Homo-oligomer: A and B are copies of this chain.
Amino acid sequence: MSRATIKEVAARAGVSQSTVSRALTAPRMVKQETVLKVREAAKTLGYVYNAMAGSLSSRRSDALGVIIPSSAYSAFAINLMGIQDACSERNFSCRIAASQFQPAKEMLAMQRYHEQRVAGLIMAGIDPSNIPYLRTMADDGIPALVLWESPGEAFNYIAIDNYQATYDGLRYLITLGHSRIAFLSGPYTCAQRNVERVRGYRAVLDDHGIAFDPALVRSQLPTFLHGKEAMRACLRLPEPPTAVLCVNDYLAIGAIRAIHEADLRVPEDISVCGFDDVDISAYFNPPITTIKTPGQLMGRMAGEAMITAIENGAPLQMQYTLDSELVIRSTCAPRR
């Protein structure tokens, strides 16, 4: 334990605890000369502020809790970066937990943040079953903000229009003449966005009079490996797809690998479209056509909005839907 406490600094400087506290955190309330004396004493004593005691006493906290499914997927890591940037600029601290796409872990993380009395909570998606707990935390003055999707109009979010984004991507594929289009979705846990995307997928199909084939939609974790395996399964179908829409770029890259391993070409034989426009996507060979998603901006905005609300003591009010945009590169081509 840091030997020196405020009390000892006070003794050393010949002032009271209160003065030390003020001199250190609100120097303008204290005579210049005293501030100097206190700082001097603190320095020679090697005093280190105890943030726990401070927070407990002031019942304020400068910590943001964030929950993401996994830091291994770039889009979430990028969210995190944005949040961290905001925290670092505004001198907040940042806590992180991964749900691993498991609702129970997600809930556990929420509860721990609640116990820690974080000043705010940011989540990249939320399992429907955990939404009510957002209220519980709000009752204790802990605002929450969910990324990527809206947990309902009563809550704060910075989302994208998952339905529409998917719709647009798929329509593009259809425009290219494809009609047998696989859909590699993400997990349906710890997030609603994937069900919205599936909804989008089905809607385009309907709107273009294309029959829905359940064999063409598969849900899995967002990893290269899962993408590869899912695509492989699609390729084994009696009537394989000529295009595939992936709900994220890792899945797309995995799919491309499976296609190559089957001695087929992208995009000549099969078109693939990704989602997110993760940093690798532009550098991949071939560069990936993808639905670009503002992951970093989302994180940054979230962090800033949250911190601003906290600092102003105002209720967080943020319901925003950001645009996503189809970025055409080289993995989609007209059906032969």
Which of B78, B96, B228 sits near A95, CB closer than 8 Å? B96
Known A72-B78, A78-B72, A117-B52; contact A105-B93, beta-carbon cutoff 8 A? no
Known A52-B117, A72-B279, A140-B48; contact A59-B1, beta-carbon cutoff 8 A? yes
Number of copies of chain A assembled together: 2
B residues in contact with A283, CB < 8 Å:
224, 228, 253-254, 257
CA distance A132 to B221 in the complex (A): 43
Q: Scoring A residues 244 to 287 as 1 if CB is less than 8 Å from chain B, else 0, what string do you get?
A: 00000000011011001000000000000000000110111110
Which of B48, B94, B100 sits near A114, CB closer than 8 Å? B48
The reply to whether A116 and B52 form a contact with Cβ atoms under 8 Å apart is yes
Known A71-B80, A116-B52, A117-B50; contact A95-B98, beta-carbon cutoff 8 A? no
CA distance A46 to B136 in the complex (A): 9
The reply to whether A51 and B117 form a contact with Cβ atoms under 8 Å apart is yes
The yes or no answer to A56 lying at the interface (CB within 8 A) is: yes
CA distance A223 to B279 in the complex (A): 9
Q: Scoring A residues 40 to 52 as 1 if CB is less than 8 Å from chain B, else 0, what string do you get?
A: 0000001011111
The reply to whether A49 and B115 form a contact with Cβ atoms under 8 Å apart is yes
Q: Scoring A residues 97 to 141 as 1 if CB is less than 8 Å from chain B, else 0, what string do you get?
A: 110100001000001101111000000000000000000100011
- Taking Cβ atoms with an 8 Å cutoff, the residues of A that contact B are 1-2, 46, 48-53, 55-56, 59, 61, 63, 70-72, 74, 77-78, 80-81, 84, 88, 93-98, 100, 105, 111-112, 114-117, 136, 140-141, 223-224, 228, 253-254, 256-257, 260, 279-280, 282-286
A-B contact pairs, 11 of them (CB 8 A): A2-B117, A48-B114, A51-B116, A51-B117, A52-B55, A52-B56, A71-B84, A72-B78, A72-B81, A88-B100, A256-B285
